[in-house]
Structures are given as structure tokens and as C-alpha cells.
Chains A and B, each alone.
Chain A
Amino acid sequence: DIQMTQSPASLSASPEEIVTITCQASQDIGNWLAWYQQKPGKSPQLLIYSATSLADGIPSRFSGSRSGTQYSLKISRLQVEDTGIYYCLQRYSNPWTFGGGTKLELK
């Protein structure tokens, strides 16, 4: 199975700051990587697909990038509503696997 190692596990940042969350894949997964946001008590929401493409309705301050087998989610100009847990997901091969999650809190 492909392992997705996500870091950091948690972080705290202030509004307007820039944060970056990363996922390291245990092998090549191409661009088969997506990012999800789960706000407290809510269902997850797709943010980024194909590693770098912004999902419909998602603000442009969210962006995804790839460097080899490392994938990053960058959130610019943090807003209070960005609080939640962020997950990466690989769909290169079954079983599809999520990263462990990053809990983002706003100061």
C-alpha cells in the first residue's frame, strides 16, 4: 500500500499568515493527489485535485504544488474560517489512502 505521511500534525497561525502543509508519498503517485478540508462537525470538502487544480468554488488563496513525491497545500492570507483538519489523498493505486491529517487552528 502507498503510505501518505502528512506534516505537521497540527499548527497554529494568525489571520493573514501563510501556511504550508505537506504530504510525502511512499512511492511515485504522479499527480493523483487531492486535498480536503474538514471543518468541525462537517463533511470533508474537496479543495485541490490533480495535485495543483483548484476545485470549483474554492478561494484562490488555496494552492497545491508538487515536487517529486512531496505534495504541498499552501494557504495564503489565512482567514478564521480556514480552521479545520486538512487531509491529502492519493488515488494512484488501490487501496486509496489518506494522510493522517493536519489540524489548523487560528490564533
Chain B
Amino acid sequence: EVQLVESGGGLVQPGRSLKLSCVASGFTFSNYGMNWIRQAPGKGLEWVAYISSGSSYIYYAETVKGRFTISRDNAKNTLYLQMTSLRSEDTALYYCARGGSLGDFDYWGQGVMVTVSS
């Protein structure tokens, strides 16, 4: 069974940093691209970042480019999102999602909440 479990969220002050993790199981993690997607409270979905299976290709949404860094450790089956210079508008539930055989987000974690507030 495919499982994605996010962690690392919490309450953080504006301008500070936070690092999210997503531990994968039930599939060969190193064979799949991975994504972070977020959802602000009561709002829709926003794709945040993508990393290819071997970390060769990385893409970001403009709203986070230069502040967030996606990475992965295939030996640990873990995806990361390093978030710096956090803003109130980064407050959201952050999901990790697997990019399926055609890249579509076929499995999602349960999400981890990040709240940016003083």
C-alpha cells in the first residue's frame, strides 16, 4: 500500500524558516517524481514544487521561487521542503504527492499544517 506521511509543520513567525518532510512507503520511491501542493484555509489547491526521481529536474511556483527548496533523499525514501522567509500567505496545509507514471498526482499524503503568524 502506497503511503505518504508528512511532518514538520507548526506555528512559525514571519521571516523564519521551517522544513517539511514526507516519508514514502509501499513503492520504489527512487522511481517517481514528487510534488508539494498546498491549500490555504478554505481555499483551493496550489501546486508548489516538483522534483524528478533523480533530482535532475526541479520546478517551483513563482510564489515560492527563491524562498523554498525541494529536495529528496532516495536512500531514506524521504521528500523535503525547506521553507525560508516565510510570509503569512504561506499559511496552508501542505501535501506531498507522488507523480504517477504520466506525472499526475496519483497518491497524496494527509497533509501537514503550516501557520505563519506573529
**Which A residues are closer than 8 A to B by beta carbons?**
1, 34, 36, 38, 43-46, 49-50, 55, 85, 87, 89, 91, 94-101
- A87 cross-chain contacts in B, Cβ below 8 A: 44-45
Q: B44 and A100: CB pair below 8 A?
A: yes
**Which B residues are closer than 8 A to A by beta carbons?**
44-47, 50, 59-62, 95, 100, 102-106, 108-111
Q: A96 and B102: CB pair below 8 A?
A: no
User: Given that A97-B47, A98-B46, A101-B44 are known contacts, is A44 also in contact with B105, CB under 8 Å in the complex?
Assistant: yes
Q: How far is the CA of A97 from the CA of B44 in the complex (A)?
A: 11
Q: B102 and A44: CB pair below 8 A?
A: no
Known: A43-B109, A98-B46. 17 other contacts (CB 8 A): A44-B95, A45-B108, A46-B105, A49-B102, A49-B104, A50-B104, A55-B104, A85-B44, A87-B44, A89-B45, A89-B47, A94-B50, A95-B47, A95-B59, A98-B44, A98-B47, A99-B44
Q: How far is the CA of A98 from the CA of B45 in the complex (A)?
A: 6
Q: How far is the CA of A87 from the CA of B97 in the complex (A)?
A: 15
Q: How far is the CA of A1 from the CA of B46 in the complex (A)?
A: 13
Q: Which of A1, A43, A49, A50 has the most CB of B within 10 A?
A: A43
User: Given that A98-B46, A98-B47, A100-B44 are known contacts, is A91 also in contact with B104, CB under 8 Å in the complex?
Assistant: yes
Q: A43 and B110: CB pair below 8 A?
A: yes
Q: How far is the CB of B62 from chain A (nearest CB, A)?
A: 6
Q: How far is the CA of A32 from the CA of B19 in the complex (A)?
A: 31
Q: How far is the CB of A32 from chain B (nearest CB, A)?
A: 9
- A89 cross-chain contacts in B, Cβ below 8 A: 45, 47, 104-105
Q: How far is the CA of A36 from the CA of B105 in the complex (A)?
A: 9
Q: How far is the CA of A94 from the CA of B35 in the complex (A)?
A: 13
User: Residue of A at shortest CB range from B61?
Assistant: A95
Q: A43 and B108: CB pair below 8 A?
A: yes
- B46 cross-chain contacts in A, Cβ below 8 A: 98
User: Residue of A at shortest CB range from B101?
Assistant: A49
